[in-house]
A and B are shown apart, each in its own frame.
Chain A
Amino acid sequence: MADHNMNAAAYWSANLRYITISLIVWALVSYGFAILLRPWLAGINVGGTDLGFWFAQQGSIITFIAIIFIYAWKMNKLDKKFGVEE
């Protein structure tokens, strides 16, 4: 039982770590690149405008998709590693 609890705690903290990293990327592309950091990225030209504009209208959405699939894939591996998969 003690072993089970330790495993459970390790599984959950690994999940929390994945979530934290994912949310940092999530915030960086949307609130960062697309909004707050846009003036600093103004020098990078994308199709007649700047990188921040591209992130606001395209890049953040594409990154969101990548985040979810990577998270789902990592969690599936984690489920198997800890034997909690269905």
Chain B
Amino acid sequence: MSQFAINLLFVGASFALYIGIAIWARAGSTKEFYVAGGGVNPITNGMATAADWMSAASFISMAGLIAAGGYANSTFLMGWTGGYVLLAMLLAPYLRKFGKFTVPDFIGDRFYSRGARITAVVCLIIMSVTYVIGQMTGAGVAFSRFLEVSSAAGIWIAAGVVFIYAVFGGMKGITYTQVAQYVVLIIAYTIPAVFISLQLTNNPIPMFGMFSTHTESGVPLLVKLNEIVRELGFQDYTADVDNKLNMVLFTLSLMIGTAGLPHVIIRFFTVPKVADARWSAGWTLVFIALLYLTAPAVASMARLNLLTTIYPDGPTAAALDYAERPDWIKNWEQTGLISWTDKNNDGRIQLYNESPNFAATAEARGWAGNELTVNNDILVLANPEIANLPGWVVGLIAAGGIAAALSTAAGLLLAISSAISHDLIKKTINPQISEKGEMLAARISMAGAILLATYLGLNPPGFAAQVVALAFGIAAATLFPALMMGIFSKRVNSTGAIAGMIVGLVVTLVYIFTYLGWFFVPGTNMLPNTPENWLFGSTGYGISPLSFGAVGAIINFIVAFAVSSVTAPPPKEIQELVESVRYPKGAGAAVDH
């Protein structure tokens, strides 16, 4: 069987599974559509949330980022997991007790204001729409590499599959397809990692293999990797970071942002009890950790594999002859994600860091510049080929990458469509709408959101790549503080919360736009995006635009408390509402409002 046929089989079988689940899990009421009926087992929900959360970025890009940055990019590992600690203790149980359907629902009721609800809806839509673009383009890339269709055709197919289970099944359909998608993606991620770990260290568990002895050289794997990268002018893989303030703030922004993402929060509305919401957050992190503990191992091993492929006799000996390059390099050259130019005309592949400090060494070795460019994203996708694994593993990776993109896209689309049908239509424009009418509105909003996401996936705006800064920055600076203050303070009132959200949003956006351009239009940035120009840049502790979400969050808290303290406290019934979300008793009843 050809590789194409194997890939088609794996992806086709996974799609058949998702559609089968969709037929089985049709939503019959708005409660089923928004929160899967509220009866999802906490472990099942943990698995679904893990798939909901782990996007194309986690599956495809993260290991490549860590491979390139080494220790410095540990921020992604800690930032994208530490948020669940905040979620488990500061938000999920109380929002579950509140027992409504959407995130703006809580903000609107707690801050007794249509303005607060609309502000939350606007923030939710901006961050979710930006985020979903990356999922659609990610699915497109996976399709075009593995299934030999154009990226555009891939996006249409992906949209069609999501349409079937999201429009008919709502949260119910999404929940059970996400469970299936989690299983597909975790198997796809782990199997190649286990084989590579065995090949390099004889240890079958990648997270231990990474800290074991490299069998071929007899020294620890990370020591070996440090030696090689140093010889090629890169900084040590495990090298420390100078600007620790920025590293702390970036990690904090990712953590707060993760806890404030509506499509993650609403998953905790689907479990039966408050106690289940707490357990479920723990299970979510267990399922996420299976991938996140493996990713750094994949990163270090793939980087070592790549460099030992290019320099089979060590970095100081002759590099690989281009004519003898392995098949996987040939395959990926066709996609343009690996490219080679023979700058010193020796027919060999030189890969090194063109830094001024290393220029003399490079010249002495007869090198005339770095000749190989490797896109970070291919590390995970090419892993099975690099390790010479059989064709079915490649098929699995194809299905896994697509599963990661689709599961996150569906969760985001539900967050968008429920904010429209529930918060805008039912709670703002037409409160008299019937249950049936709201259900229809929910399905139409979902279909509309899918069409919008498809359009944006096909015509991605220039800022799609900045999604991390934007989505996490906004979530951190707006929704997270508002939700937390709504639970932990009885004093913060409607005026304070709205002022906090708006100031947090504006300050964060202005800071990001200052360096990345107004609305990300290239050339409109007011300062160059380099460390010297960042806030406090002259001290060497500049704050990058990616790290500013945490500062935005702090500003939000300060403004909300300051404004609240000079305006009237919330009415008595609101203080009682805050009191009631703090105690678990009665959550089962609360959902049937």
Contact = CB atoms under 8 A, between A and B. Distances in A.
Interface of A: 8, 11-12, 15, 18-19, 22-23, 26, 30-31, 34-36, 38-39, 46-50, 52-54, 56-58, 60-62, 64-65, 67-69, 71-72, 75-76, 79, 83-86
A72 B296 contact: no
B585 interface: yes
- Looking at chain A's contact residues, the main secondary structure is helix
B251 A30 contact: yes
A18 B90 CA distance: 11
A19 B92 CA distance: 13
Given A30-B78, A56-B71, A56-B78, A86 B586 contact: yes
A60 B244 contact: no
Nearest to A11: B583
A74 to B, nearest CB: 10
A65 B286 contact: yes
B251 A49 contact: no
B285 A30 contact: no
A41 B220 CA distance: 19
A68 B77 contact: no
B223 interface: yes
Interface residues of B, number: 52
A53 B93 CA distance: 33
Given A39-B240, A48-B222, A8 B583 contact: yes
Given A50-B238, A84-B583, A72 B88 contact: yes
A47 B278 contact: no
A35 B243 CA distance: 10
Given A56-B71, A86-B275, A64 B285 contact: yes
A65 B89 contact: no
Contacts of B251: 30-31, 35
B274 interface: yes
A36 to B, nearest CB: 6
A84 B273 CA distance: 12
B521 interface: no
B467 interface: no
A61 B222 contact: no
Most chain-B Cβ atoms within 10 A of its Cβ — which of A19, A30, A76, A79?
A30
Contact of A34 (B74, B90, B212, B221): B74
Interface string B582-593: 111111100000
B219 interface: yes
- Looking at chain B's contact residues, the main secondary structure is helix
Given A22-B89, A71-B89, A86-B588, A48 B278 contact: no
Given A68-B88, A72-B278, A49 B292 contact: no
Interface stretch (B79-87, B168-176, B534-542): B79-87
B223 A48 contact: yes
A49 B222 contact: yes
Interface of B: 66, 71, 74, 77-78, 81-82, 84-85, 88-90, 93, 207, 210-212, 219-224, 238, 240-241, 244, 247-248, 251-252, 273-275, 278-279, 281-282, 285-286, 289, 292-293, 296, 579, 582-588
A1 to B, nearest CB: 13
A83 B281 CA distance: 23
A58 B579 CA distance: 38
Contacts of B89: 18-19, 22-23, 68, 71
Contacts of B90: 19
A58 B207 contact: yes
Given A58-B296, A86-B588, A48 B244 contact: no
A85 B78 contact: no
30 contacts: A8-B583, A18-B89, A19-B90, A22-B89, A23-B89, A30-B78, A36-B248, A47-B212, A49-B223, A49-B238, A56-B71, A57-B77, A58-B207, A60-B77, A60-B81, A60-B82, A61-B78, A61-B285, A61-B289, A61-B292, A61-B293, A72-B282, A75-B93, A79-B584, A83-B585, A86-B273, A86-B274, A86-B275, A86-B584, A86-B587
B399 to A, nearest CB: 26
B85 A22 contact: yes
B373 to A, nearest CB: 26
B276 to A, nearest CB: 9
Contacts of A18: 89
B279 A47 contact: no
A76 B289 contact: no
A33 B252 CA distance: 15
A75 to B, nearest CB: 6
Given A49-B238, A54-B211, A71 B88 contact: yes
A48 B224 CA distance: 9
Contacts of B223: 48-49
Given A62-B293, A86-B586, 8 more contacts: A47-B220, A48-B219, A53-B74, A53-B222, A57-B71, A61-B77, A62-B289, A86-B584
A42 B582 CA distance: 43
Contacts of B292: 61
A48 B220 contact: yes
A15 to B, nearest CB: 8
Given A8-B579, A56-B71, A75-B278, A38 B240 contact: yes
Closest 8 A-B residue pairs measured CB to CB?
Answer: A47-B211, A48-B220, A56-B74, A72-B278, A68-B282, A57-B296, A48-B223, A48-B222
B244 A36 contact: yes
Contact of A56 (B77, B278, B279): B77
Contact of A47 (B77, B222, B244): B222
Nearest to A42: B240
B247 A35 contact: yes
Most chain-B Cβ atoms within 10 A of its Cβ — which of A12, A48, A57?
A57
Nearest to B280: A72
B273 to A, nearest CB: 5
B434 to A, nearest CB: 31
Nearest to B223: A48
B282 A86 contact: no
B481 to A, nearest CB: 16
Contacts of B587: 86
A75 B212 CA distance: 38
A58 to B, nearest CB: 6
